[in-house]
Structures are given as C-alpha cells and as structure tokens.
Amino acid sequence: MDVDKLLVIAVIAGFCLGPHRLASHTRRLTGFLRQLRAWADTTKAQIEEEAGVDIDWSELDPRRYDPRRIIRDALTQSPVPPPADRPEPPTAPDRPMQARPMQARPMQARPRTGVDHDI
C-alpha cells in the first residue's frame, strides 16, 4: 500500500471511530503487528534450525514472480550464446524441400450391424 492510501484509511477511521477509540484501536493494531512479526521471526528461525541450512528468504519473495517484471527482465537480457560443448542447431537447407503429392488410400468397408453409431 502507498502512504496516500494509508492516510485515507486513517482519516476515514478517525471519522468513524472518533479520537478516543481510534487511539485504543491503533494501540491494539500495533500490538498485533508486533506479535505477527515476532511469530514470523521465530518461525523462520525454527525452519532454519530444523532444516540445518541457512535459507535465503529473498529467493522465496513472491514479488519476484510479478509477470511484468519477468517480461521486462527477459527483454532486457542479452541473448546467451550456446555452450561450446553443444553443437549448433541445424540450419535450414539451401534449397527448399520438394513437396510430395499425397497418395489417396482406398476406403475400407465396415460391416453393417443394423445400428448407426455414426449419427
């Protein structure tokens, strides 16, 4: 959220709750956010301790998977040359391939069963 949106929410809450109730609700909200942050930190520490490795949490950030960012990064990267151990992909032949005419296959007759399943 932007600061502008938070300011609008605060002004609306101030009108709806009044100055006395707004202060108490603000204290409760900040206390809840502190508890939430502490819970997240202890959960991260517990996961790292149980996994036995140091986890890079920035790689798990969901903001990395924004489609606009992925496309922008793909368009701004320079093309990567193929590795030297892999041969170059085959190129198109110098002369165009000749089209061969299709051969018609005769139709096979199916036995009649008395029931039309083709309808």
Q: Could you tell me if residue 39 is inside a domain?
A: yes
Q: Could you tell me if residue 60 is inside a domain?
A: yes
As for how many domains the chain has, the answer is 1
> Among all chains, which residue has been given the structure tokens 């029931």?
115
In this prediction, residues 40-50 reach a mean pLDDT of 88
Q: Could you tell me if residue 59 is inside a domain?
A: yes
* pLDDT score at 36: 94
The whole domain housing 10 covers: 3-76
Q: Could you tell me if residue 113 is inside a domain?
A: no
Average pLDDT, the chain: 77
Q: Could you tell me if residue 50 is inside a domain?
A: yes
Phi, psi torsion values for 44, nearest 5 degrees: -60, -45
* pLDDT score at 62: 75
Write the pLDDT tens digit of every residue in 5-14.
888 988 888 8
Buried b (16+ CB within 10 A) or exposed e, 43-81: eeeeeeeeeeeeeeeeeeeeeeeeeeeeeeeeeeeeeee
Q: Could you tell me if residue 58 is inside a domain?
A: yes
Q: Could you tell me if residue 48 is inside a domain?
A: yes
Count of positions (residues) in the chain: 119
Write the pLDDT tens digit of every residue in 56-96.
777 777 777 778 888 888 888 777 666 666 666 666 666 66
* pLDDT score at 35: 96
